[in-house]
Amino acid sequence: MMRIGLFLLTNLAILVVGGIVLNLLGFSGILDETGTQLNIQGLLMLAAVFGMGGSLISLLISKPMAKFAAKVQVIEQPSTDAERWLLDTVRELAHRAGVGMPDVGVFPSSQSNAFATGWNKNKALVAVSRGLLERFSADEARAVLAHEVGHVANGDMITLSLIQGVVNTFVIFISRLIGFFVDKVIFKNERGLGPGYFITSIVMDIVLGILAMAIVAWFSRFREFRADDAGARLADRRSMINALRRLKAETELPDEMPESLSTFGINKGKRGGFKAMFATHPPLDERIQALERSTHA
């Protein structure tokens, strides 16, 4: 479940770089025929193309980028009993969830962690750490895998990319509105687009892009509860609760994941204050309590 971090960071980079390229090229298609006023319709179309485009690119490259960042070794032919069990378990869970068999891989981390990613629910990737395979019981590991398959079946990456695309559109649109205002009102530029527009729009792309990440992170936290529930249904509720408790017990271990992925792993959720706005996973205590409430309901 570390997929969201890399997705968000890649999307922000594409958003900012795209804005810089447009500005360096001196793109002025957002102006009307007089060259003095904004063409709101043209600006909105530009924002939608680049906003949705950045999100879709992030989605399409999420699987290879995650493989590279986490050093995932995809299992083509199982060489150990653990790898054979892993393939068989994911195949069974995918069949129960009604999705195609995903690629299955293992990444070299002693910390217990797992993630799923991919643009297509029938061509996804599910990966687990060596540490999880070594220390979790079969039931606990199966519950974690069920959680990840639940993400795939729920189409979470596709849904998040659409939400990110809409948010991106507003970021680009509002950034350029502010840039135009600064250029005309503060810098008194009477025709065309001046330095005030270009500098301000780039700065606002970054600032609003970070705020957009907080919005998508909030939605991601909501989807984690759904994935926990899916894991409880595909495996069993008690095993899902036990797996989350085991993950909580291991949160003090050194984090060996790449920075772009580690803060979004399945065993995260201890952030507080300002950082909590950008946490893509709820605290583990809240997730455990949600499953226990549904058990007694």
Whether 192 and 32 have beta carbons less than 8 Å apart is answered as no
Residue with tokens 């993400």: 151
Q: Is the per-residue pLDDT at 136 higher than 80?
A: yes
Q: What's the rounded mean pLDDT across residues 219-232?
A: 93
The tokens describing 261, both together, are 């992925």
pLDDT of residue 255: 54
More confident residue, 237 or 9: 237
Nearest to 52 by CA among 16, 22, 11, 24: 11
Residue with tokens 């996973």: 281
The tokens describing 248, both together, are 């909580």
Q: Is the per-residue pLDDT at 266 higher than 70?
A: no
pTM of the model: 0.81
- Give the Cα separation of 212 and 169 in Å (integer): 10
- As a dihedral over the C-alpha atoms of residue 209, residue 211, residue 213, residue 216, rounded to 10 degrees, the angle is -120
Question: Per DSSP, what are the bridge partners of residue 103?
Answer: 125
99-103 own/partner pairs: CB under 8 Å, 24+ apart: 99/124, 99/149, 99/152, 99/153, 100/124, 102/126, 102/149, 102/152, 103/63, 103/74
- As a dihedral over the C-alpha atoms of residue 156, residue 161, residue 162, residue 167, rounded to 10 degrees, the angle is 130
pLDDT of residue 127: 95
- Give the Cα separation of 35 and 26 in Å (integer): 13
More confident residue, 261 or 222: 222
More confident residue, 260 or 172: 172
User: Around Cβ 16, how many Cβ atoms within 10 Å?
Assistant: 16
Q: What's the rounded mean pLDDT across residues 223-245?
A: 95
Distances 38 to 41, 51, 209 between C-alpha atoms, Å: 9, 19, 22
pLDDT bucket at 263, cuts 50 / 70 / 90: very low
Q: Read off the pLDDT of residues 5-46 as tens digits, 9 standing for 90 and up.
A: 555 565 556 656 666 665 555 555 677 666 678 888 888 888
pLDDT of residue 202: 84
Give me the residue spans of the domains in the chain: 3-296
- As a dihedral over the C-alpha atoms of residue 38, residue 41, residue 45, residue 46, rounded to 10 degrees, the angle is -10
More confident residue, 274 or 235: 235
The tokens describing 177, both together, are 């509105």
Is residue 148 annotated as a catalytic residue, yes or no? yes
CB-based burial of residue 206 (10 Å sphere; 0-12 exposed, 13-18 middle, 19+ buried)?
Answer: middle
> Over pLDDT 70: what percentage of the chain?
80
The mean pLDDT value of the chain amounts to 83
Q: How far is CA 86 from the centre of its chain?
A: 24
The tokens describing 23, both together, are 């500005």
- Which residue among the candidates 76, 148, 250, 286 is catalytic per the annotation? 148
